[in-house]
């Protein structure tokens, strides 16, 4: 198998390195040698993490996708413009394409997979979600007997690192983000990671594969972690919860929910104990029940592990195209965010006066929201108090109504914080 690589950065370099060390055992397993023969790079002279002595380098990426000897193109340059052109050209030239590019698949996957099907080539993207964890293969093959009811994943390592730091060390968000940046886990502009866009890309891919629907990235309700405070984490801990940034996809009647947001989960859940930059995806199938897949969500060789596994699947003819590989897709409407049912955590800052708690509980009961538990604490050197509340399972619009009603009260001292709770059972 002759391979052309677009991009020899972290992932591309990792692919070359892993093939160099494990090429023999892959050949022993498959009977075939995977050879990277050509790589498109931005600057031929740049230092790299891999040995390129037997790889032809070019600064013209189209030379890779148009090369007649190449069977498989690895798209590892990112972005959604040039990469789309290159992938389309490769497919039209009859080459299989493997990509780690979640943004490209989330935004243009429907048409690209159709194009791959029309050209009878594979377009595979195991590496686009949760790095090296073989979660796409698990959904497509291991769990193929199941009707998937829901999935919930920690699918952004940067965000999980920040929340883990905040919990373990009592840091606030800005501090933990600075640490993530210093360690190279977060970009200078961290928006994609901390505002949930990266997770939303990945969630839309997982949901499409789990439910056999088309990709619907633009319908994902997305909320980042930048508003999670050290106080929220402290109150959550006190109430028996850990705050994680989850991507959640769930059947809800004839529709599906797709949402990315900070979430309180019980400390007893295995996924609550997934810390640092690690990723994990919990899947609930109607036959298997709950299963969980955990591992490195990023890194050169971890991501390369998934890219190369896709190549081996092509060698063994062990895959059909994701999503549109289903013989017929189901049309599943995405549920409006207001209509999502959930338990909620609510945190208020109120003036510490007699009668305030009675007013608050009255607002809850007027909106038919029950309080399951409540913690109240005086704020040091202040006449204000924090109140943290756990509600019963209600519609999102009802908790929004409670929030608005409380924010209109004189005793209220700050915007009311709301975070979803997931039982994950």
Active site residues: 202
User: Do 308 and 17 touch, CB atoms closer than 8 A?
Assistant: no
Residue span binding a copy of itself (CB under 8 A) among the ranges 82-90, 174-182, 192-200, 312-320: 312-320
Counting contacts by CB under 8 A, is residue 288 touching a copy of itself?
yes
User: Do 395 and 338 touch, CB atoms closer than 8 A?
Assistant: yes
Q: Which is nearer to a copy of itself, 205 or 399 (CB)?
A: 205
- Per 3-state DSSP, the chain is made up of helix, strand and coil in percentages (nearest 5) of 40, 25, 35
User: Do 399 and 421 touch, CB atoms closer than 8 A?
Assistant: no
- Among 12, 13, 132, 247, contact with a copy of itself (rule: CB under 8 A): 132
Counting contacts by CB under 8 A, is residue 141 touching a copy of itself?
yes
Counting contacts by CB under 8 A, is residue 190 touching a copy of itself?
no
Residue span binding a copy of itself (CB under 8 A) among the ranges 35-43, 73-81, 323-331, 360-368: 323-331
- The DSSP bridge pattern shows strands 384-391 and 371-378 to be antiparallel
- Among 294, 344, 345, 411, contact with a copy of itself (rule: CB under 8 A): 294
Residue span binding a copy of itself (CB under 8 A) among the ranges 219-227, 293-301, 363-371, 372-380: 293-301
Give the residue among 381, 394, 383 at the shortest CA–CA distance from 421. 394
Binding-residue pattern over the window 327 to 346 for a copy of itself, x denoting contact by CB under 8 A: xx-x----------------
- Restricted to residues 344-383, the positions that interact with a copy of itself (CB under 8 A) are none
Token digits for 289?
């029940």
Three-class DSSP category at 337 = helix
Distance in angstroms (rounded) separating the CA atoms of residues 139 and 7: 28
Counting contacts by CB under 8 A, is residue 142 touching a copy of itself?
yes
Smallest distance, a copy of itself to C-beta of residue 259, A = 23
Task: Tally the residues of the chain.
Answer: 425
Question: Which residues fall within 8 angstroms of residue 299, CB to CB, at 6 or more apart?
Answer: 10, 14, 131, 132
Counting contacts by CB under 8 A, is residue 3 touching a copy of itself?
no
Q: Which is nearer to a copy of itself, 86 or 277 (CB)?
A: 277
Specify the residue for token string 């769990």: 143
Specify the residue for token string 């050879």: 35
- Among 4, 13, 14, 247, contact with a copy of itself (rule: CB under 8 A): 14
Q: Which is nearer to a copy of itself, 14 or 196 (CB)?
A: 14
Counting contacts by CB under 8 A, is residue 71 touching a copy of itself?
no
Q: Cα 225–219–78 angle (5° rounding)?
A: 70
Counting contacts by CB under 8 A, is residue 237 touching a copy of itself?
no
Counting contacts by CB under 8 A, is residue 287 touching a copy of itself?
yes
Counting contacts by CB under 8 A, is residue 126 touching a copy of itself?
yes
Q: Which is nearer to a copy of itself, 148 or 337 (CB)?
A: 148
- Among 16, 26, 129, 228, contact with a copy of itself (rule: CB under 8 A): 26
Q: Cα 220–221–225 angle (5° rounding)?
A: 120
Q: Which residues sit opposite 38 in a β-bridge? A: 4, 56
Counting contacts by CB under 8 A, is residue 326 touching a copy of itself?
yes
User: Do 98 and 311 touch, CB atoms closer than 8 A?
Assistant: yes
N- to C-terminal Cα distance for the chain?
Answer: 44
Distance in angstroms (rounded) separating the CA atoms of residues 247 and 206: 9
Counting contacts by CB under 8 A, is residue 266 touching a copy of itself?
no
Counting contacts by CB under 8 A, is residue 319 touching a copy of itself?
yes
Counting contacts by CB under 8 A, is residue 128 touching a copy of itself?
no
Specify the residue for token string 């996809």: 249
Q: How many CA atoms lie less than 13 Å away from 255 in the CB half-sphere?
A: 11
Question: Which H helix or E strand runs over 11?
Answer: helix 10-30
Smallest distance, a copy of itself to C-beta of residue 269, A = 9
- Among 103, 109, 295, 350, contact with a copy of itself (rule: CB under 8 A): 295
Counting contacts by CB under 8 A, is residue 256 touching a copy of itself?
no
Size of the site for a copy of itself (CB under 8 A): 60
Give the residue among 320, 322, 285, 325 at the shortest CA–CA distance from 145. 285
* Contact residues: a copy of itself, CB under 8 A: 14, 18, 21-22, 25-31, 126, 132-134, 137-138, 141-147, 212, 270, 273-274, 285-296, 299, 301-302, 304-309, 312-313, 316-320, 326-328, 330
């Amino acid at each position: 198998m002759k391979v052309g690589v677009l991009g020899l950065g972290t992932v591309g370099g990792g692919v070359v390195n892993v093939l160099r060390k494990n090429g023999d055992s892959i050949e022993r397993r498959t009977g075939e040698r995977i050879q990277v023969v050509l790589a498109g790079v931005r600057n031929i002279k740049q230092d790299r993490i891999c040995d390129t002595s037997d790889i032809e380098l070019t600064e013209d990426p189209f030379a890779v996708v148009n090369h007649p000897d190449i069977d498989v193109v690895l798209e590892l340059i990112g972005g959604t413009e040039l990469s789309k052109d290159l992938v389309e050209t490769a497919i039209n030239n009859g080459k299989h394409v493997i990509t780690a590019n979640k943004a490209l698949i989330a935004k243009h996957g429907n048409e690209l997979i159709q194009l791959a099907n029309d050209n009878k080539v594979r377009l595979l993207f195991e590496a686009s979600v949760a790095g090296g964890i073989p979660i796409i293969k698990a959904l497509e093959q291991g769990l193929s007997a199941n009707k998937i009811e829901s999935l919930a994943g920690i699918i952004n390592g940067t965000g999980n690192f920040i929340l883990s730091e905040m919990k373990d060390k009592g840091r606030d968000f800005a501090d933990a983000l600075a640490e993530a940046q210093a360690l190279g886990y977060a970009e200078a502009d961290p928006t994609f990671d901390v505002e949930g866009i990266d997770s939303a890309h990945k969630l839309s891919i997982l949901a499409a594969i789990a439910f056999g629907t088309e990709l619907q990235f633009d319908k994902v309700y997305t909320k980042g972690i930048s508003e999670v405070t050290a106080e929220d984490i402290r109150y959550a801990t006190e109430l028996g919860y850990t705050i994680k940034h989850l991507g959640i996809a769930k059947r809800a009647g004839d529709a599906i929910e797709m949402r990315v947001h900070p979430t309180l989960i019980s400390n007893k859940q295995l996924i609550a104990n997934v810390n640092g930059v690690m990723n994990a995806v919990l899947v609930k199938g109607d036959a298997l029940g709950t299963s969980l897949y955990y591992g490195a969500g990023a890194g050169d060789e971890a991501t390369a592990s998934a890219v190369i596994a896709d190549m081996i699947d092509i060698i063994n003819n062990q895959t059909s195209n994701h999503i549109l590989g289903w013989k017929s897709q189901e049309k599943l409407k995405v549920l409006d965010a207001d209509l999502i049912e959930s338990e909620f955590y609510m945190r208020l800052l109120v003036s510490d006066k007699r009668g305030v708690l009675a007013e608050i509980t009255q607002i809850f009961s007027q909106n038919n929201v029950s309080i399951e538990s409540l913690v109240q604490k005086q704020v040091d050197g202040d006449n204000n108090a924090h109140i943290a509340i756990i509600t019963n399972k209600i519609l999102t619009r009802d908790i929004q109504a409670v929030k608005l009603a409380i924010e209109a009260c004189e005793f209220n001292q700050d915007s009311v914080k709301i975070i979803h709770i997931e039982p994950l059972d």
